[in-house]
Structure 1
Amino acid sequence: MSAERYFGVALDYSPSSKYALKWAIENVVKEGDHLVLVVVHKEVLEGGQVHLWGKTGSPLVPYESLTDPSIQKAYQLKWDEEVLHSLKEAVTVKKLTVVAKVYWGDAKEKICDAVIEIPLDALIMGSRGFGTFKRTLLGSVSNHVLNSVPCPVTVVKLPPSLGF
């Protein structure tokens, strides 16, 4: 029997992060693995769970709860059909255990926190594809995470055919 494996996917609802989720399900995870969605919100909406879990992030929210509108609202989750389809495939076809961990704050820091706190065996994340100039001005979340966490990180680029 193999040991349990925990794979994280950083999800910010962008096309590149949704593609990274789909890519991870199709290419990395296998039956019995745990898929942890790491969601980081910059903004805090009134009435959300940030008041309870602002510093440490939410508890792990199981897949079964992720489709509940009240849970989605409480944790500021914006699941669209593409994400829900990928997660359903992960649970039903791949037989994965899917959970979400929600943070509020700076994505660079909170994704690194998640890798250590959960802990994750590997992290998959999308890349927005900034050029050198924008990356210099705005920084790169993927570059920071890649150089700061103790596990392997795979940065998945959005194919040009799916670009925005």
Structure 2
Amino acid sequence: MADARYFGVAVDYSPSSKYAFKWAVDNVLRAGDVVILLFVNKDSRDGDAADLWGAGGSPVVPFEELSDAVIQRRYQAKADEEISRYAEEAATVKKAKVMAKFYWGDPKEKLVKAVVEIPLDALIMGSRGFGTFKRTLLGSVSNSVVNSVPCPVTVVKLPPNIGSE
């Protein structure tokens, strides 16, 4: 068997990030791969997980551990049936190992940090589909990441028939 490939999937619970995870499971993952779901919480409070884990983020944890409510609170994770379903499919059907890592702060900065520090062979992320005005005003996380990381990045657009955010 070939060496494991390490894929990151940026997940922010939005429809576009969930679709990107589904797309990765359907089109990219194969047996022996490792997929690391990268969660970036923009908000942190004093005394919470961001203080505990610091700038480097949480340890990489097996995704199945996130079904425990205590573990969810520790990482400020949300229970999400759709993400859990895709993780189960990745593990059982594709025979990939599914992990999770949590960061706190600016998604542009933290996703770049994850790619370099883990390190990842490729990153898959959704596109929020901002128009020109919003993209100019708010900046595009995907555009910033694509131009800053040393690995291939696949930006998956949400199909119009699925809906938007």
Cα distance, 1:50 vs structure 2: 1.6
- Aligned equivalents of 1:16, 1:78: Cα separation in 2: 17
Q: Secondary structure at the match of 1:54?
A: helix
Q: Pairwise CA RMSD of aligned residues?
A: 1.1
- Aligned equivalents of 2:163, 2:146: Cα separation in 1: 23
Is residue 77 of structure 2 the alignment partner of residue 40 of structure 1?
Answer: no
Identity across matched positions, percent: 65
Partner residue in 1 for 2:14: 14
Query: Does the Cα contact within 8 Å between 1:37 and 1:100 map onto a contact in 2?
Result: yes
Cα distance, 1:157 vs structure 2: 0.3
CA deviations 1:91-147 (Å, max 9, x no partner) are 111111111110000000000000001000000000000011110000000000000
The size of the alignment, in residue pairs, is 164
Query: Does the Cα contact within 8 Å between 1:42 and 1:106 map onto a contact in 2?
Result: yes
Cα distance, 1:57 vs structure 2: 0.4
State the AA in 2 paired with 1:65. E
**Unmatched segments (≥5 aa) in structure 2:** none
Cα distance, 1:19 vs structure 2: 0.3
Cα distance, 1:46 vs structure 2: 6.0
**Unmatched segments (≥5 aa) in structure 1:** none
Partner residue in 2 for 1:113: 113
Partner residue in 1 for 2:73: 73
CA deviations 1:19-68 (Å, max 9, x no partner) are 00000000001011000001000111566322221211000011221211
- Aligned equivalents of 1:152, 1:125: Cα separation in 2: 11
Q: TM-score, normalised by structure 1?
A: 0.96
Partner residue in 1 for 2:52: 52
Is residue 133 of structure 2 the alignment partner of residue 151 of structure 1?
Answer: no
Partner residue in 1 for 2:136: 136
Q: TM-score, normalised by structure 2?
A: 0.96
Partner residue in 1 for 2:27: 27
Is residue 86 of structure 2 the alignment partner of residue 90 of structure 1?
Answer: no
State the AA in 1 paired with 2:25. I
Shifted more, 50-59 versus 124-133: the winner is 50-59
Query: Does the Cα contact within 8 Å between 1:48 and 1:73 map onto a contact in 2?
Result: no
Cα distance, 1:79 vs structure 2: 2.8
State the AA in 1 paired with 2:14. S
